[in-house]
Structure 1
Amino acid sequence: MGTPLWTVGAVALALVAPVPAIAAPSTPRDFVVYGFSQSDVGDEDPQVYTLKPDVTIRAIGKWSTAGDEAADYNFAQIPRYHAQGTTFMGSGTASVIFPRDFATEAIYDDMSTRDAENVPVPHDEFGFGEPVRRGNLFNPAYREHLLAWARIQIDGGVDGINLDEVNGGFSGGQKYGFNGNEGFDDYTLADFNRYLLAKYPAFTPADWQARFGMTGPNVPRPDVPFDYRAYLRAGGWQTDPLNAANPLAAEWGRVVPNRLYAGDTTFTGTYVRRYWKELVDRLRGYAASRGRRLLISSNGLWPYVDFNSVGMYPWNPDEQTPDWKGADYVPVRDGHLNGAKSLGPNYRYLKERSREIAGDVPVAVFIDWPNEMMTNYLNLPPGEQRDYWRIFGAEAYANGLFPAFHLKDTVGSPTAQEQGMLGFLTRYSGFYRAHADLFRGNSHAPQAVRVDTPKIAATLLHNRHGRTIHLVNHRYAGAPVPWSNVVVSAALPSCPRAVRVFSPDGPRRATTTCRNGRLTVTVDRLEAYDVIALR
């Protein structure tokens, strides 16, 4: 941890600041150190008691029948979390289902999503070696199924619930090339009928025919639902219902996995939002009936949450790329970390979209699994694994987000301790904990930052404590290549009374000048990450 400096004019005065006592965060707005350690419901990860994060975003995960009964759980670990000030988030899949999860095959079929020919959609692409489908969020019995296991976790004492892959049942899976042929069951189509009637309340049969090519009596009506599957068959779109030639495809909408954008007013966007809010309200209401406040999160960008936890995986929608894989959140080249790449634009995009969707709530990012990004991270040489957090973890903080430091998954991958990372992560996260006020509640400031040195990503953030300039070094050759005497300038509304410099990489000295709001700071060294606090 670097020695802080108060600088006034061109004089730098070293101060030895005591590390503040660690208090248990009271709300997500107080979280600064996020951990990712997910265990099966009956297991416990001792690494958490070394890292001591403010929160683990999915401490346990309900999967299939594991978690159906209170006896399945190790709730005794929750007081141990609380004793060290760590918030315990329960969790479970909101959409992956197996035949054994339900009493009968008929119930399983009723809970399953269906294609446009009313056949349950398989999801063999998961590679579990057994039948697997997606649960139907539009089925009230399925929503009750989700609430049932979540209530068990609430009764067991969890601080929050993280629901994973809430809108997972619309892709069509590998069977249909992920073209969106899923979600065409009777429950969903009844809601589609309601949606169309509400959107076009004055339409006559002639209007439906003129606008959408509907024929005969098969139009939306209050008494007899519109048979959308018959409409698709008549148009030849029953295996490709989102085909651009289908006039109703735009009304239906295209579901983006783990995203519920604020501007999505299509049928699927409107009703997924409605049922998601129902789940959230009922969970919070259940906890309140027991005198508890419950935190809510989900994988991705969602409304009505206390914080968003965004899984980083290939084929994400956060950047348009030629290969369609999306933003490369774990940049690797020939098996080595590509520290020259900046994730600043991607992180800023997530921050801005989350604000549109959920308001001013914290946003954490974690390496999701099992996928190519996690594999690339786990296969990095140890020094480059550390550099991933020193560069890209720091760059998340530098853009107002929070990286969730990776400890453990549930598929047997090497843990942080097994890879020799636990000690580093504990020491490194201690810098952010000790200087928490620099990182809580940050938003991007409108003023531009100029850095005369190349390969440095610079951002200007502000929170209730003041402004901070963040410098991330992307000059990388197997390790960060340091810079000396980095000159940073910004035009501010007024000159700061003082400037303080922090770095997790060691002590820093700086000189400053400021006239008429034009601030110039020269930092003597940038290794991976420096923060300039303006007060």
Structure 2
Amino acid sequence: MPRRSGTPRWSAGIVAMALAVPGQAAASPSRAGDFVVYGFSQSDVHDEDPQVYELDPDTTIRAIGKWSTAGDEAADYDFTQIGRYHAQGITFMGSGTASVIFPKDFATAEIFDDMSTRDANGDPVPHDEFGFPEPARRGNIFNPEYRAYLLSWARIQIDGGVDGLNLDEINAGFSGGSKYGFNGNEGFDDYAIADFNRYLLAKYPAFTAADWKSRFGMTDDNLLRRDVPAGDLTANFNYRDHLRAGGWNRDPLNAANPLAAEWGRVVANRMYAEDTSFTATYIRRYWKEIVDELRAYARRTRHRGILISSNGLWPYVDFNSVGMYPWNPDEQTPDYRGADYVPIVGGHLNGAKSLQSQYRHLKEQSARIAGNVPVVVFIDWPNDMMTGYLNLPLEEKKDYWRIFGAEAYANGLFPAFHLKDTVGSPTATDLGMMDFFKTYTRFYKDHRATFKDNAIGAQPVRAGAANVAASLLVQRGTGKRSIHLVNHDYDQGITPRTGFTVEAEPGSCPRRVSSISPDFPGAKSPAFSCRDGKLKVTVDRLDHYTVIRL
């Protein structure tokens, strides 16, 4: 593994220039809207996963991942693998953590402190919950030097020839970590609270001193002023002092704090379109600056565009890659764990559960946030969802993709087929999954035109059999319609549904109907009738998943 001799690379005020890799292909990346098969295989920046070439997906959402000092220099990387990706027509996505930092990442302890997020007392927030052998913190996206640091390694990957970049956990530095019980006591550094002053002054341009005091409980000795620079936290309003005075410095998002709603509650890996609070407004602004700079850099230096993604639901991306993990915000549950994306009961797959509503929620939120970009879901790690998946019996692991991978497709999303993580878990090959993946994904490649760029149809679909989730998709641009059926009659194995009718109101009657499935070869021509836009199709057999093309 290429390493420097323990000398941290980043010094404040210095942006190192990356070196272009001679002979590296620089073809324009494919349009993300054309992808239908995604893989998940993340390697360290110097490593390569041969499983990717076996699966032959359109892309992997994070082929390599910059972590700590590994990836600070061009010599750390094996960029030659990009040519091997391109030889098979696979788009290469680089990536790196956008928030986890360590002392060795920076030249001095002072720079590390300056790059770190802080609590409402102004102290750096530790993240011991990671369990790493060295102290870990979160980087501060409000600090322009930290944003320059992110851009420095991203430019190295662009110069190396990546087709795109996935920046992981953009807004993760606001939880407070285990020290504060994840109550949001983080992000209260000088950079952020200076921006908070700017936000308040812009939002309330007519406020007088009396207004600031009556509305937000400010005091004469700590009052927001227009005649003093917003960043002068001695002469102007200092939000940390305000929190200490109110007794909220250990719980700054407490509802009793009149400024808590203005500050906002950051939801990790989400940037909701309707959120106009301070944190959302400025994180969104800084994220756009980063994205715009990376796109401009690629155009300026490599004369091509690049794809951008991040973990979660974000604007300004070419596709959203959504990690599935516990404590997600995608479904309100009594235990606060959120949507159960890998449903397991007693060590066995709970294939009787449907994820249709959760998948649709992700797709609808992504559309509001980012427009009509593809949404890819992957089992994130390390967490108990991934552990549960890895521990399933082999056939039930396959059934996970036959049911819940298919259900993603059935609702206009895409699953990322899991090949490898970076923590030493068994790979797809180790688990005996590769032959299945190669055969199963071939179906989606062969029917690419059916699965790309679909929206959820508004018209109802009714399946005349229990435990069948049905949906209607309408393809943007062509208007082509397809009905998708996912069988959830499952108990440690699927029970096929036979001889039932599907009813839909697609708006107009089709001339022809055909059905395709990864469960049978070729295409079938099911019996159907249609009158006044009301369609009835007879399904002779549904194993796991069938698509009826209209």
Residue 445 (structure 2) aligned to one of 433, 436, 453 = 433
Partner of 2:169: 165
Q: Provide, for residues 438-483 of structure 1, a one-character-per-residue CA deviation record: whole Å limited to 9, x for no partner.
A: 1100001111001110000000000044100000000002111101
Partner of 1:42: 46
Partner of 2:213: 209
Deviation at 1:346? 0.2
Deviation at 1:437? 1.0
Percent sequence identity is 70
Task: Give the Cα–Cα distance (whole angstroms) in 1 for the partners of residues 451 and 295 of structure 2.
Answer: 28
Residue 245 (structure 1) aligned to one of 233, 236, 256 = 256
Partner of 2:129: 125
1:517 aligns with 2:529: no
Code of the residue aligned with 2:542 in structure 1: it is: L
Partner of 2:506: 492
Q: Mean Cα displacement is larger for which, 505-514 or 519-528?
A: 505-514
Contact residue 297 and residue 305 of structure 1 kept, 8 A: yes
Residue 475 (structure 1) aligned to one of 461, 486, 489 = 489
Q: Mean Cα displacement is larger for which, 24-33 or 522-531?
A: 24-33
Residue 307 (structure 2) aligned to one of 279, 295, 307 = 295
Partner of 2:385: 373
Contact residue 509 and residue 524 of structure 1 kept, 8 A: no
Code of the residue aligned with 1:514 in structure 2: it is: C
Partner of 2:13: none
Task: Give the Cα–Cα distance (whole angstroms) in 2 for the partners of residues 106 and 518 of structure 1.
Answer: 69
Q: Any idea what SS the aligned residue of 1:87 has?
A: coil
Residue 53 (structure 1) aligned to one of 50, 57, 60 = 57
Q: Provide, for residues 325-376 of structure 1, a one-character-per-residue CA deviation record: whole Å limited to 9, x for no partner.
A: 0000000001000000000000000000000000010000000000110000
Code of the residue aligned with 1:503 in structure 2: it is: S
Task: Give the Cα–Cα distance (whole angstroms) in 1 for the partners of residues 432 and 236 of structure 2.
Answer: 60
Code of the residue aligned with 2:390 in structure 1: it is: L
Deviation at 1:218? 1.4
Residue 175 (structure 1) aligned to one of 168, 176, 179 = 179
Q: Provide, for residues 355-403 of structure 1, a one-character-per-residue CA deviation record: whole Å limited to 9, x for no partner.
A: 0000010000000000110000000000000000000000000000000
1:503 aligns with 2:514: no
Q: Provide, for residues 126-181 of structure 1, a one-character-per-residue CA deviation record: whole Å limited to 9, x for no partner.
A: 01122000000000000000000000000000000000000010000000000000
Task: Give the Cα–Cα distance (whole angstroms) in 1 for the partners of residues 126 and 496 of structure 2.
Answer: 52
Partner of 2:324: 312
Code of the residue aligned with 1:147 in structure 2: it is: L
Task: Give the Cα–Cα distance (whole angstroms) in 2 for the partners of residues 516 and 121 of structure 1.
Answer: 64
Contact residue 352 and residue 490 of structure 2 kept, 8 A: yes
1:33 aligns with 2:45: no
Task: Give the Cα–Cα distance (whole angstroms) in 1 for the partners of residues 518 and 99 of structure 2.
Answer: 40
Partner of 1:255: 266
> How many residues are paired up?
511
Q: Provide, for residues 244-283 of structure 1, a one-character-per-residue CA deviation record: whole Å limited to 9, x for no partner.
A: 0000000000000000000010000000000000000000
Q: Mean Cα displacement is larger for which, 486-495 or 132-141?
A: 486-495
Contact residue 29 and residue 163 of structure 2 kept, 8 A: no
Code of the residue aligned with 1:231 in structure 2: it is: H
Residue 112 (structure 2) aligned to one of 108, 119, 123 = 108
Partner of 1:83: 87
Partner of 2:194: 190
Q: Mean Cα displacement is larger for which, 503-512 or 187-196?
A: 503-512
Deviation at 1:414? 0.2
Partner of 1:334: 346
Q: Any idea what SS the aligned residue of 2:458 has?
A: coil
Residue 242 (structure 2) aligned to one of 231, 239, 250 = 231
Length-normalised TM-score, structure 2: 0.92
Contact residue 366 and residue 405 of structure 1 kept, 8 A: yes
Deviation at 1:217? 3.5
Task: Give the Cα–Cα distance (whole angstroms) in 2 for the partners of residues 75 and 149 of structure 1.
Answer: 14
- Bigger relative contact order, structure 1 or 2, given CA contacts below 8 A and separation 6+? 1
Q: Provide, for residues 76-113 of structure 1, a one-character-per-residue CA deviation record: whole Å limited to 9, x for no partner.
A: 00011011111000000000000000000000000000
Give ranges in structure 1 of 5+ residues lacking alignment: 1-23
Deviation at 1:225? 3.3
Contact residue 25 and residue 54 of structure 1 kept, 8 A: no
Counting only pairs closer than 5 Å after superposition, residues 268-417 of structure 1 correspond to structure 2 as: 268-290=279-301, 291-417=303-429
Deviation at 1:25? 7.7
Contact residue 67 and residue 149 of structure 1 kept, 8 A: yes
Q: Provide, for residues 469-501 of structure 1, a one-character-per-residue CA deviation record: whole Å limited to 9, x for no partner.
A: 000000002111101112101122210011110
Task: Give the Cα–Cα distance (whole angstroms) in 1 for the partners of residues 382 and 287 of structure 2.
Answer: 25
Structure 1 vs Structure 2 CA RMSD = 1.0
Code of the residue aligned with 2:548 in structure 1: it is: I
Deviation at 1:509? 5.2
Task: Give the Cα–Cα distance (whole angstroms) in 1 for the partners of residues 276 and 440 of structure 2.
Answer: 43
Q: Any idea what SS the aligned residue of 2:240 has?
A: helix
Q: Mean Cα displacement is larger for which, 464-473 or 273-282?
A: 464-473
